[in-house]
Copies of this chain bind each other. A is one copy, B any other.
Amino acid sequence: MSKYTTLYQHGTLALLVPGLLDGTITMGDLLKKGDTGIGTGEGLDGELIILDGKPYQVNAEGKVTVVSDKFTLPFANSHFARYAPLAELENVDQDDLNKQMLSLSRAENTFFSLKVTGTFADIKTRAVSKSKQPYKSLAETAKNQSIFTRDKVTGTLISYYSPQLFNGAAVGGFHHHFISDDHKFGGHVLDFRLVKGEVGYQLFDTLEQHLPVNNKAYMAHDFTQDDIAGSIQASE
């Protein structure tokens, strides 16, 4: 298992669905597994993006702050960045970008990451408001989300692609988080147009899937009644 070909994942997307939102990994531990990543905080406390080893949180007010090593997360990805240039793109929307990158990379059946830097237009992000115990389902909790938009902004998009086979454990397909260069805008990306930008690409041959086995709520939960795929599609 090479350092640069491994994608680390803590938790699963599936555990968010019934509202297993305890923070079960600290940011400090997540950063031991990578200098780049995405995630959400305990109770769906905002949207996280890690760039160059620095963990930024976009909260439901749209405010961007750097979180401490003690910040905890129920679900997160990280990896050590070593992106190779893949493409320079102009005027592509989210669907175009996804399709072109799948076609260029020919990596539909494995995990990979994209790092897109440049100028984005009509970008729409969201961040969920932190909820407290007892947690409700993802669908309920995600109702308390804020939507943010920018007509034009320069920044960085970090994206993870997971094969459909792993949908439920991960987000099948692409999962994009964004942060602006001025650190005043970001979140989980819902839509965008890339005016002009460069795409870096990093392929993984290994998913290091870590599960919160010391979390009683997780270990005791009966997942058979959860509509994982349906709920993920509705929320992502």
Residues of A within 8 A of B (CB): 1, 12, 14, 106-111, 163-166, 168-169, 203, 205-213, 218-221, 223-224, 228
- CB contacts (< 8 Å) of A1 on chain B: these are 208, 210
- The answer to whether B205 touches A211, judged by C-beta atoms less than 8 angstroms apart, is yes
**How far in angstroms is the closest Cβ of chain B from A61?**
33
Known contacts being A208-B1, A213-B203, is A110 close to B164, with CB within 8 Å? no
Chain B residues lying within 8 Å of A228, measured Cβ to Cβ, are 165
Q: List 18 A-B contacts (CB under 8 A).
A: A106-B220, A107-B213, A109-B211, A109-B223, A111-B211, A165-B168, A165-B223, A166-B169, A169-B169, A203-B213, A205-B211, A205-B213, A206-B208, A206-B210, A206-B211, A207-B207, A207-B208, A208-B209
Task: Kindly list chain B residues whose C-beta atoms are within 8 Å of the C-beta of A220.
Answer: 106
- Identify which of A107, A218, A219, A224 gathers the most chain B CB atoms within 10 Å of its CB: A219
| A171 → chain B closest CB, angstroms | 13
Expressed in whole angstroms, the minimum distance between the Cβ of A222 and any Cβ of chain B is: 8
In the complex the two chains form, what is the Cα distance from A209 to B163 in whole Å?
13
Expressed in whole angstroms, the Cα–Cα distance for A228 and B109 within the complex equals 14
Decide: A209 and B206 in contact? CB cutoff 8 A.
yes
Which residues of the other chain, B, contact A212 by a CB distance below 8 angstroms? 205
Give CA–CA (A228, B163) in the complex, Å: 14
State the CA gap A221–B108 with chains docked (Å): 9
Tell me the bound Cα distance from A221 to B220 in angstroms: 37
Q: Is the CB of B211 within 8 A of A110?
A: yes
Closest B-chain residue to A226, C-beta based? B165
Are the C-beta atoms of B164 and A223 separated by less than 8 Å?
yes
Complex CA gap A224/B12 in Å reads 22
Chain B hits for A109, CB < 8 A: 211, 218-219, 221, 223
A231 to B191, CA, bound (A): 37
Contact A107 B209 (CB under 8 A): no
Distance in angstroms from A165 CB to nearest chain B CB is 5
Separation of A166 and B220 alpha carbons in the complex (Å): 17
By a CB distance below 8 angstroms, the chain B residues around A164 are: 223-224
